[in-house]
Amino acid sequence: MAERAADEPREKRSVRMGQKRSSAESKESDPHSRPGMVRLHSDRGQKIMRSAAFQGGYPMDRKQKTKTSCGVCSAAIVVSCIRGMNISEKTVLQDASSSAKELRTRTKKCARSRCPTCRNLRDLTMCLENWRRSGCSLYHLNALLRHGLSLKTRFHFTSDSKIQTFERALRRFEAKQSHILVNVRIKRGGHWGVVAAVSRVEGDDGLPETQILVLEVNNPRLHYWVSATTLYQFMDTITSARVTRGWIEVLVQSSVPAVQLDADPVNEDTAPATPAEKEAACRTS
């Protein structure tokens, strides 16, 4: 076999190797080929869907408008559910731009460049300027939700958290106290970092753990089920910016007092530990 490969024309050999690499990359990037992940539209996926009441009420056919807008589109899904009406990506960005103008007016005469309002404006502006070119990092998507849409959020890097923290967030979601956006390592449209909304239901008798539905706004046919443990593992990965991925919990305003009773501290505008990390967190993949 080695001799035959050596005698094979270079062009054919490179094509053959390229096909193997392409096949391997395709398999790695496909969430349905990974252990513990079940495609929603498969027989097993539909069985899980029927096993308990669907939580969240999200539109199942929402698709991102551009290849870099998975964060904005997923945010629009959550905002639609909170406001009780269909909110588009365009509306989310328009509302955030209006908030940025208001913040800019408030900070015009500010002499302290490091004041919280100035920092919030910088983070929101960076999100609005970069989402089309490189997508939203989780950090700046949090700024969009909190400072652009006036929503109360909790932001977590997995490097600063534990799986128990994520499980408590899932329990709050199940109690309809919050919504969750996750950043997982799946390749979509040339990017390895994908932001998605999640919905949780009780698993059927054949599953050891409760299953979470991850909504793929890149292609609604790719929605999939995954356990909390496996989903956390896909968040607990390093980006090209050398920071971990994580999740955002968007709190339902009417339930905030109840949420405060939870053991988790509320992290107001959690930021990376150093200026260098904060700068690096701009990138999503």
With pLDDT > 70 as the criterion, what percentage of the chain qualifies? 66
Structure tokens at 42: 């498969």
- Give the pLDDT confidence of 55-101 residue by residue, as tens digits: 555 777 788 988 888 899 999 999 998 988 889 999 999 999 999 98
- Give the pLDDT confidence of 107-157 residue by residue, as tens digits: 777 756 667 788 888 888 888 887 877 778 888 899 999 999 999 999 999
- Give the pLDDT confidence of 208-228 residue by residue, as tens digits: 677 888 998 888 888 888 989
How far is Cα 169 from Cα 171, in angstroms, rounded to an integer?
A: 5
Top-level class of domain 35-279: alpha beta
**What mean pLDDT is predicted for residues 15-36?**
49
* Claim: this prediction has a pTM higher than 0.85: no
How confident is the model at residue 28, as a pLDDT? Answer: 45
